[in-house]
Structure 1
Amino acid sequence: MSAPYDVPGATHVYSGKVRDLYEVESGNLLMVASDRISAYDHALDPPIPDKGEILTRMSLWWFDQLADVAPNHVVSTDVPDVVAGRAIEVERLEMVQVECIARGYLTGSGLLDYRATGVVSGITLPEGLTDGSKLPEPIFTPSTKAAYGGHDEPISYAQVAEQVGEELAARLRDLTLEVYARGEAIAREKGIVVADTKIEIGLRPDGTLVLADELLTPDSSRFWPADQWEPGHAQPSYDKQFVRDWLTSPASGWDRAGDAPPPRLPDDIVEKTRARYVEAYETLTGQRF
């Protein structure tokens, strides 16, 4: 796979849906957030302008907010000019091969599972919940971590424990729920509901859990305007749900169940998506982008 950026003194080693990794002379990794956007396990065209920089800035802000909850992988923000603003130097970690997800509200794939069985990731939920309902308490709803282009599948806590061991499974669950609880409380004060979030966790050689990749961004979480939250229907959002909704609307002409790739995003969808990411960043951090 060719390197998306020609970074002096760095060797490209991996590209994911959004981020590219490079080895640097220090032995650390350079993590670069692109403007790519994905939905339903497809990379979409065109990219969303400035998205990578927004995600990077927001993650750095969150790492600072949650510094007392867990260490993070950031080594330096002093990076080559070609990726300035969208890249950070990070420590090498053994990444946990589980998607660690916390949900405080019922929506998305969790809602589909609930409607079918009343159960989400092995957890039985109360009757009578609807789209957007706040759960009695946040729940840990892990999934598999599929390769690029694959599809993550929900798994139960028991399956996580079987995969990584009971002790590590408990630590992953507890950290995920703590990060979500703290993040949700901070965001709510700013007027944003964090309905759910997915976090990436790595291990240092001594077993320390470290927050990695991105943290509490519109790509890894569902952000809803708090003053518009109303259970019973899909919520307005600051995140890429806007893109998902267009893809599954008659306007796109795309059959999600078919073999054809998604269509190119129209200019107005790109512009409105960028505006939502900028608004989320500015609302949350109080900083101008």
Structure 2
Amino acid sequence: MSKALVKTDFNFPGQKSVYHGKVRDVYNINDELLVMVVSDRISAFDVILPEGIPYKGQVLNQIAAKFLDATADIVPNWKVATPDPMVTVGIKCVPFEVEMVVRGYLTGHAWREYKEGKRTLCGVPMPEGMKENQPFPTPIITPTTKAYEGHDEDISKEEIIAQGIVSKEDYEQLEKYTLAVYARGCEIAKKMGLILVDTKYEFGKKDDKIILMDEIHTPDSSRYFYAEGFEERLAKNEPQKQLSKEFVRQWLIENGFQGKEGQKVPAMTEEYVNSVSDRYIELYENIVGEKFVKADLDDVAARIEKNVTAFLSK
């Protein structure tokens, strides 16, 4: 289990600061570039779990890189290079303080709200008479505030504009980009026998231009269903077979943990950690449609330092 990269403490050429997130560590290089190291940490219920998952960072980084390349004709994105399997170097932007969540199906948070009798989510109406996992007539955007600590909160388009979080003009452009990138993600997923159920995007601005940032269409930021058997399961009100980190959340719930006060994270055995690693590799191969090539795990931190330093020194 010690092979997983759970902590980074690099000092790259030109480094001005570092931000340690739940999963990603982001290094600011001369206020021009960001070096995003996708660690093997895993979080659920807003808690970082005690063990890292080997190859998880590589899986997430490589999926995001592929989808950024596959949508670059729709919206400019922040990616400049991937000098290491676990690293993306990109343009430093000023982030918008909202996350654009787009939902094609009534599931997850939206379903929980719906089940409680609510028929609007983030100011967006949801039709009467729907059932869990049913597709919406057209995809809906349900934005959230961007919390650097604690939980993101639902917010409506009207509130975002009224509070001056994002201008009306920029927000309407974000909506267009969100729907177009989601539509492309759905097309690609369909070819892989998958359904891109819902996902979230983050955008920023650089030189007055809107830029798509961070990760996209990964199993950490998105929910996928298997297309085969979807209609039958929907008709029988059965749970859908899904590709996301939901299986980790389910394991935690079964072991008495939901991130609530006083609850203790269950022990993660080496066997369980390896099974999660295998699941992430399976996610990669299903989403991307290519065999996953494992990077060398002998000294991951040294490998990253060498690769990133060589890139920045060019």
Query: TM-score under structure 1 normalisation?
Result: 0.90
Flag the structure with more relative contact order, 1 or 2, with Cα contacts below 8 A and sequence separation at least 6.
Answer: 2
Are 2:279 and 1:276 equivalent residues in the alignment?
A: yes
Partner deviation per Cα, 1:125-168 (whole Å, 9 max, x = no partner):
122222211111100010111123x0111111212222312111
Query: Are 1:240 and 2:208 an aligned pair?
Result: no
State yes or no: 1:39 paired with 2:41. Answer: no
The equivalent residue for 1:89 is 89
Structure 2 CA distance for partners of 1:133 and 1:269, relative to 1, 3 Å: farther
Residue identity opposite 1:6 in structure 2: F
Tell me the equivalent position of 1:81. none
Q: Which residue of 1 aligns with 2:126?
A: 125
**Partner residue of 1:69 out of 64, 68, 74:** 74
RMSD: 2.0
Change (3 A) 1:189 1:247: same
Amino acid at match of 2:166: V
Q: Could you say what secondary structure the match of 1:248 adopts?
A: helix
Q: Report the residue type matching 2:286 in the other structure.
A: T
| Greater Cα shift, 24-33 or 238-247 | 24-33
Native 8 Å contact 1:143 1:154 kept in 2: yes
Q: Alpha-carbon deviations, 1:197-240, whole Å to 9, x = none?
A: 0111111122x211111011000000111114232343222211
Deviation at 1:70, TM superposition (A): 0.7
1:253 lines up with 2:251 in the alignment: no
3-state SS of 2:215 partner: coil
* Aligned position for 2:225: 224
Question: How far is 1:282 from its partner?
Answer: 1.3
Give, in angstroms, the shift of residue 74 of structure 1: 1.1
The Cα shift of 1:24 comes to 3.0
1:267, 1:147 → 2: CA distance? 31
Counterpart of 2:304? none
Gaps of 5+ in 2: 1-5, 293-314
**CA distance change for structure 1 residues 273 and 193 in 2, over 3 Å: closer, same or farther?**
farther
- Shift, 1:268, TM fit: 4.4
Contact 1:240–1:273, Cα closer than 8 Å, also in 2: no
Partner residue of 1:186 out of 185, 188, 193: 188
Aligned length: 279
Report which of the two structures shows the higher radius of gyration computed on alpha carbons.
Answer: 2
Q: Distance in 2 between the 1:238 and 1:268 partners?
A: 21
8 Å Cα contact 1:238-1:276 kept in structure 2: no
* TM-score, L = length of structure 2: 0.83
**Aligned mates of 2:80, 2:187 — CA distance in 1:** 27
Residue 269 and residue 133 in structure 1: after superposition, are their counterparts in 2 closer, same or farther (change >3 A)? farther
Does the 8 Å CA contact 1:10/1:22 hold for their aligned counterparts? Answer: no
Identical positions, percent? 37
Q: Distance in 2 between matches of 1:68 and 1:59?
A: 15
Q: Any conservation in 2 of the 1:101–1:140 contact (CA below 8 Å)?
A: yes
Contact persistence 1:56–1:86 (CA under 8 A) = yes
